[in-house]
Structure 1
Amino acid sequence: MNPADLPLDLDALLAGLRPWIECESPTFDVAAVNRMMDFAASELVAAGAIVTRFPGPPGLGDCLRGDFPHPRRAEPGILMMSHLDTVHPVGTLKTLPFRRDGWRCYGPGILDMKGGAYAGLQAIIALAKAGIETPLPVSVLFTSDEEIGSPGTRDLIMEQARRHRFILVPEPGRPGNGVVTGRYAIARFNLLAEGRPSHAGSQLKNGRSAISMMAQQLLAIEAMTDDDCTFSVGVIQGGQWVNCVPTTCRAEALSMAKRQADLDRGVERMLALGVQNTDGTRFSVTRGVTRPVWEPDAATLELFGLAREVAADLGWSLEHGSAGGGSDANFTGAAGLPSLDGLGLLGAGYHTLEEHIEVGSLLQRTRLMAGLLARLTA
């Protein structure tokens, strides 16, 4: 089967993608994420899948698994794994509406990664409509907290992944029309500065500002960045009244490295920043979610080789490589499960108000995933 022969219509695909994008689903808005899961569940049922819903951990949305009909349904097969949470708050559609502008299409979460999740489902649907039975059974997993490192769903992800032979992840494709066969190691940290309160007008010198303490530490943290390990601070919250010397200030930091050993050293440096001062103030660092480094093994490279054959049939040369930025393939790949990431759409600007896909990649990547599903065997 040549995936180029599948009867796919670009305008119809774009029309079907629109409601996925217009159902906004930021990670921390449980009701919004669950509305997205409700919609995705209806799409799965319409596609013929049996849907299992997993209640979300406290403060997080639910997850879905869709199992498609297959004579070998009980055997290990292919898991297509996507997240449906985004970084864009509800209301972003007002400034970043779903719209097509030539060969770009914009919208919150369209690239990271609702477009890829949608394309993966359309690949399964296209094969079924063409009467093509995949050699292995196919399931999809939609999760709710990848944008914060998957703290609540990691166990579910690994439990589901270990039931399958192959893991396909339609996160955004690599620039240059490639896929991802490895990812850097990532660690998150929670920072807390604890000062001493006083009235900022009449007794300023009696206080110790937690915000000032945090600001000094943030500069020191980001200055630790080198070629082997990066450090950045992306969240900060402190103070409540401008006329009070702030007692607490919280922040979140991120460290990333190509090699696990470099990240481990970075973690040690971060944890060593904690200090208890003689005046009663203190600065503490606690380790948050960590994604292990994923380096491609023979099984992953064999999986890529098959994808490259499919791409050749579609008329282009598929490249691969490791990528910064985490995905749930960090977990499955590092565990030795054959995983192929970056199968999703091409574009730019994700996590910004310029997030868009290259329209042509919706057809191209749907065909790529369909061809891969049709060729993977035990």
Structure 2
Amino acid sequence: MPATQTGRSEDLLAELSAWVRMETPTTDPAAVNRLLDVAEADLTDAGAAITRIPGRDGFGDNLIARTPGSGKPVVVAGHLDTVWSHGTLDSMPYRVNGDRAHGPGIYDMKAGSFLAFHAVRAILRQGVGTNRPIVLLLTPDEEVGSPTSRWLIEREAAQAACVLIPEPAGAGGACVTARKGVGRFVMRVEGKGSHAGGAFEDGASAIVELSHQIIDLHRMVDLDRGITLNVAPIWGGSRPNVIAPEAGCEIDLRVNATADGEAMQARLLGLTARTPGCRVIVQGGMNRPPYAETSDI
């Protein structure tokens, strides 16, 4: 098998630490693109064929780096965005403790994306031939369901011999052979605004209705079946002395089984208001189907 010189662990940690210290929340495309600039520059210098696809809809760019070769490629797909907001480093600084490095986004998934980046760069720099070409795909929006990169991931995967995902391992370092399906929904509540003092009885609070709905959503959680729902963020109202005419939230749904995903989607989309004078509208659906473990894995 072809092999590259991987380099000193101290050097790799130093470079990884620079990636971690560049905070890249999904919601800040400029921040994500700054790290993408770093990856693009090194991969270009190493000789990769680069395609950079400008971001849209408030997300960063996508980057494709290709190595030479013939035949169906091996695609390695990672993301550079994280769930952590700017300023997280102040309370969760990068540090090394024994044989582990810590910091916001290092687990999901800057360490894995950096590993893939480093491997491709080393192969190119050292002129190591591979049995198949390699396609490295770095995306900006995985943490919110890949709304602007999904088409690209699916396009490259359809042309590949196999796809490697350097996301973190399971508990104890176990290989991940299954994953939950994911659904994303937005609930909007329409109420009736009125003055909270002089016309309290004329109003219908969207916030009160949303509160009922959130409690009902939590009651749908079934840990034994692997069904979980999480509500965040929430919003509503305008000022303390006005009964809220509007409120809303986002809903994250996780399921182990396709049938549960279909049932929960229908259940969520069919929700109705409990508070007289209010109206509930739910939009969304299953974003990713479950990937169940089978005997073929």
Q: Which residue of 2 aligns with 1:170?
A: 166
Give the Cα separation in 2 of the matches to 1:238 and 1:105.
Answer: 40
Pick which of 245-254 and 44-53 moved more: 44-53
2:234 aligns to what SS in structure 1?
strand
Aligned to 2:47: 48
Q: Distance in 1 between matches of 2:112 and 2:234?
A: 31
1:239 counterpart = 2:240 = no
Deviation at 1:245, TM superposition (A): 1.0
Bigger shift: 112-121 or 126-135? 126-135
Does 1:13 pair with 2:15?
Answer: no
2:80 is matched with 84
How far apart, CA to CA, are the structure 2 residues paired with 1:50 and 1:233?
42
The answer as to 2:11 corresponding to 1:29 is: no
Displacement of 1:278 after TM fit?
A: 6.1
Paired position in structure 1 for 2:283: 286
Tell me the equivalent position of 1:214. 210
> What's the offset of the Cα at 1:59?
1.4
Aligned to 2:51, the other structure's residue is in SS state strand
TM-score in terms of structure 2 length? 0.92
Contact 1:190 1:288 in 2 (8 A): no
Aligned-pair identity (%): 36
SS in 2 for 1:182: coil
- 1:258 match: 256
Unaligned runs of 5+ in 2: none
Match of 1:335 in 2: none
Note if 1:123 corresponds to 2:119.
yes
- For residue 151 of structure 1, what is the aligned residue in structure 2? 147
Contact 1:151 1:289 in 2 (8 A): no
* Equivalent pair of 2:2/2:130 in contact (CA under 8 Å): no
Preserved contact between residue 209 and residue 274 of structure 2 (Cα < 8 Å): no
Cα deviations across residues 80-104 of structure 1 (Å, max 9, x unaligned)? 0001111111222222222223333
* Alpha-carbon distance in 1 for matches of 2:199, 2:72: 68
TM-score by length of 1: 0.73
The residue type equivalent to 1:124 in the other structure is: V
**Would you say the 8 A contact 1:149–1:289 is kept in 2?**
no
8 Å Cα contact 1:274-1:285 kept in structure 2: no
Q: Secondary structure at the residue paired with 2:242?
A: coil
1:181-330 mapped onto 2 (5 Å cutoff): 181-226=177-222, 227-228=224-225, 229-275=227-273, 279=277, 281-288=278-285, 290-296=287-293, 301=297
Question: 2:195·2:242 contact (CA, 8 Å) conserved in 1?
Answer: yes
Asked which structure has the greater RCO (Cα within 8 Å, sep 6+), the reply is 1
Equivalent residue pairs, number: 295
Contact 2:181-2:286 within 8 A present in 1 as well? no
Give the superposed CA RMSD: 2.2
* Secondary structure of residue in 2 paired with 1:201: coil
Q: Structure 2 CA distance, aligned partners of 1:237 and 1:156?
A: 33
